[in-house]
Chains A and B, each alone.
Chain A
C-alpha cells in the first residue's frame, strides 16, 4: 500500500531529525528495575547488616566444626546445669554454660543452627513458590481455575496447623529435618496463596496491564514483567515474617514431641526443653531464643530492604 511506505518514510524523516540525542545519555547504561534495585541495596545499611548476619548464619550452618570443638551431644552429668555464662572466655566449651545433661549450650547453639536455618529457609522458599504460583494462577485467570484453587486453599486453611502437622508427622517413621520441612510447607502454603491472589487481583485490572495486552504481550510477559513485580511487595513482607514463625513452629512441634527428636540438635529442641527448665536454668532457653530472634530479624530486614529497593517511589 502506498500509504504505508509514505508513513515509513515519514518515520525515517522524523527519526533523522534528532541526529545527536544527547551524547551523555548514550554512554549511560540502560537501567532496569533489578539493576537499579541492586545499586540501591548496596548502599542500604539495613541490607548490608542483614546480609552479613545471614552470611554468618549460613556459614555456621554449613561448617559448625569451625566454631567449636565441643560436641553438642556428649553430656557429662557432673556438669548438670553447671556454670552460668562465663563471658570472659568467649568461644570456650562452657562459656554459655551447660544444660541439664551437662552438654555445652554453646556447642548445641552452633550445631543447632543447621536444622533451624534449613527449616526456616526451605519452608519459606517452598511456601512462597507453591503459594505464590497458586495465588498468581487463581488471581490472574479467575473463573473455574480460581474457584478450584481457592477451594483447595480453603480446605488446607481449615486444617488446624498443629493437628495437621501431628497427623503428617505421625505418618513418618523417621522424623528427619526434611520431614518437618514437608509437614510445615504442606500446611503453610495457603497463607501465601491468599496474599498473592489478592495482590494479583488488584494489579491485573491496572491500565498498564491492558496496555501490555494491547501491544500483543503474551501471558508470560504480562505475568512476570507487569503483574509479579507489582504484586510482590506484600508477599515479601509476609514471607520474611513467616520465616521466623516456621522456626518457632518447629520448636513447638519438638516441644510436643513431634518435631525433631533428641539426637538431632536444633534451636527448637533446645527452646522446648529450656521452657521446662526456666525456673532452674534460664540460660538454656535464653541463648537459642536470642539466636532465633537475630535470625528472624535479619530476614525481616532483608525482606524490607528488598521490597523498598523494588519500589522506585521509595528509593
Chain B
C-alpha cells in the first residue's frame, strides 16, 4: 500500500462510518441501533492506527506533497486535490483521531439510552471526517470547504437535542457567529486568489511569501481577514460568546468540540498560514494581544459561572487564547505543543463533567458536592485533568504552558512584558476556577442533583427522594482513564527537558519546526524562574479558591461579580444592540421599506400597466369586419403613400413605379 493511500483511508474511513450510520441505520433501524456506536468507533480506530503509522512513516520521508488529480479545472485555472503532510498535519491527525476515538468509546455509554443513537454517531463520524479533511488539505479552497463542513457538523451536534429550545438557539448562535469569521476567511482567501491563482496552493503560498510576493498595504488587510476566520472558529474575543452556549449539545460533543476539533481549527489555520502572518509584524502584534486578552478575559467569566460545562468552556477559550498568544508572539512550536497537551486533558475534563452529570442529572454545581465519596475514580481523574490544566509540575499542562510563558518572558520587549503579565494572570485565574469546580463538585456534602434543582426551580412539594449518585459504567471510565494517564505523562514524554534516550530533548518542538518554512533550527529553552512564578501563581489561585469555598472570602454580590456573571454584558450587547436595535430596527426597516415601496410597488405598477394596455388593445379586436377592413385599407394606403414619396425624386413615371412595386411584392 502506497503512502498516499494511507492518507486517503484516514480521511475516508470516518466518512464511510458516517454514511453507514447516516443512511443505512437511519433508514432500517429508525435511528436506533446498538451497532452504530461500534461502526463509528471502529472507523475512527482504523483512522487512528493509520495516523500513527503515517507518523512513523513521516519521520523517514519528511514533508510530503501529494497531488492526486485536478479538480474543477476551467481552462488553466483550477484546483488540485492533494494532501500536505507536514509535522503539523501528522500531529493533528493523531490528536483528532485519538481524542475522537476516546470520546466515541465514552459516547457508547453516555448516549446509550438516547433515541437518536445512530444519528448521533453518524454526526460524530462526519465531524471527525471534516476535521481530518481540514488538517490534510493542501489547497486553501479545500481547507475552506472542510472548514465549513466542520461548522455544519458542529451545528448539527450542538443542536442535537433539537426539541430543546435552548439547544436550537445555541446551535444557531454558534453557526451564525462563526459565520462572521468564516466570511472574513473567505474574503481573505479570495484576496490571496487575486494575487495569483497558484497561491491557493499552500506550499506555493509559502514560496511566494518567502520570495516577497506578499507585501505592502494589502498584506495587513488580508491577514486581518484570515485571522478573523480563526477568531470565529477558535472563539477569541470578540466572537467568543457562542462557545459557552454551545454547551447545550451532549457532553461528548462538547468534549470533541473543545479539545480536538472545531476550536483548534482556528489555531490550526493560523499555524497553516504562519509564514504569511509572520511576514507582517503588525498582524502578529494584533494576534498576540487578542490572544493574551482573551486568555484573561474568558478566565474571569469562568470564575463565577455555576454550570460546570460553562466553566470548562470558558477555560477552553482562555487556553485557546494562550495558543493564539503564542502564535502571535512567533512561538509556533510552543502553541501547538499546548494544543496537543490541551486536547487530552480538556477532553478528560469534559468527559468527567459528563460522568458527573450522568450521576447527578444536572450540570449546575450548586446542586452537586460531596461526590468524592460516591465516584472516586471520576474524582481522581478530574483532579488529574484539573492539575494539568492549572499547570502543576509534572502534569502535561505545566510543560506546554511554561513553554509559552518562558518564551514570552525571554522576548524582552515592552509588548511582551504586558503579554507576560496577562498570561500570568491567566494562570492564577485558571487555578482559581478549576479549584472552585473541584471543590463545588466533589467536596462538601451532596446537595441532591437534578431532583433538588427541579424542586428549587418549581418550588413544588413532590420532591423525588434524591437517588444516590453512582459511579459511571466501565465503558465511560475506560477512555477517561486512558486520557487521565495521557494528561499526566504526555507533556513530559513528547517534549522532555533532557535527553531521555528513546525521546531526545525537546523532540516535539524540533519535530514541529521541521517543516516547509522554518529553515534555521531554533533553540528551545526551559526558563526556570518562569516555572517558579507560574507555580506560585497557580498555588495562590488554588489557595484562594479553597478559602472562598470555606467561606473565608466573600466575593459574591459586589460590582465585579455582577459584571462577570453577566458575561461582561456581551450577549446583551450582541443581541439587543447589534441584532435587535441595529439589524432588526435599522437595517430591517430599511429593507422592508425597500421591499414595500420599490419592489412591491413596481410590481403592482407593471401589472396595472399591462392590464390597462390589454384593455386598450382589446378594443381593436372588436369583431367588426368593417373596422378590420378599414384598418387594412388605411394601412395599405399609408404604405403606398410612403412608397411613392420615397420614390418621388427618382424621375420614374407612375407606371414604372407600379411595375417596380409589383416586382417588389413578388
A binds B: no
Interface residues of B (CB under 8 A from A): none
